[in-house]
Amino acid sequence: MTAELTIGPILFHWTADQKRDFYFHIADEAPIETVYLGEVICSKRAPFFEKYYDEVTERLKSAGKKVVFSSLAEIMIKRERIMTEGLCAFEDYPVEANDSAALYHLRGKQHYVGPFINVYNEDTLIHLALSGATHITLPPELPADALAILARKANVLDILLEVQVYGRLSLALSARCYHARAHGRVKDNCQFICEEDPDGMELRTISGQPFLTINGIQTLSYPCLNLMQELDDLQETGINHFRLSPQSHDMIKTAKLFRAVLDKKINAKEGMVHLKEIGLDAPFANGFYHGQEGYKWLEADNITSIAE
């Protein structure tokens, strides 16, 4: 199977115009096969972009991109339950479930499963496949050996697996909004302060070291996941869908670099040199993949297989 690049839903609170322009550029310029749309983190943000969905989906479809709508990753109130139920009733586009409430409404019909649902073992894969899942994006904290085991089972079940290979890692969700609280506000009257941090709000330790990133109710890594040098190994396990999680820098160039590595036009080492020039002002990380702490970075020359 040919390797495919996907672009995940925008996790951060960008303006509606920024999102629209981002997706227009993805449609016209990026070597991306599948685009995930939808508000995943905070339902209060959702109304800002709703008026653009028809325009954006048509532009993406005209460019030959597949469109998938992603559900909220945390559902706390009745309005969010209703919002999720309505999304899961879509017939024109596949839906990616990121919460068990979405799984409930999607049961019995073909759907996607997103990385916010914990798929850690083969029994979970079987259960989801029997409920209608045809495509599952695995949580980014899984190590390579676990990915290989799940890929073998997915092949038997005839479902597709996807992994995130770029972007800050989602670590946790909370019922509270630390982003608002850090600015002396409450969740219900946050005044959308998260809009001021297009790649999340950096947190530092007492000693001043960058540690985590906050995005509303979401906690993300400070380092940026980069599995460019692991792409060949992932394909050998049978995983061929690779997700780029949007950041505010040039994601078109980022996608082209990953595509060039996948197509063997450049090697991963060369690709990473260029990626450092255009990417986040943060270190790369690939520790989870190699069975170590997630914030760590292991160069290809220094990696020992987990199986060893």
DSSP character for 69?
A: E
Burial class (CB in 10 A: 0-12, 13-18, 19+), 167: buried
Structural domain contains residue 210: no
Domain housing 244: 4-170+221-302
For the stretch 128-178, pLDDT in tens is 999 999 999 999 999 999 999 999 999 999 999 999 999 999 999 998 888
Structural domain contains residue 132: yes
What pLDDT shows up at residue 218? 94
* Separation CA 260–CA 238 (nearest Å): 20
* Separation CA 125–CA 133 (nearest Å): 9
Residue 203 pLDDT grade (very low, low, confident, very high; cuts 50, 70, 90): very high
Residue 305 pLDDT grade (very low, low, confident, very high; cuts 50, 70, 90): very low
Structural domain contains residue 199: no
- The H helix count followed by the E strand count for the chain is 10, 12
Mean pLDDT across 5-22? 97
Structural domain contains residue 143: yes
Structural domain contains residue 295: yes
CATH code for the domain of 139: 3.20.20.70
What pLDDT shows up at residue 304? 44
Q: What is the pTM of this model?
A: 0.94
* Separation CA 274–CA 261 (nearest Å): 12
Structural domain contains residue 118: yes
Mean pLDDT across 17-42? 97
Structural domain contains residue 196: no
Structural domain contains residue 194: no
Number of domains in the chain: 1
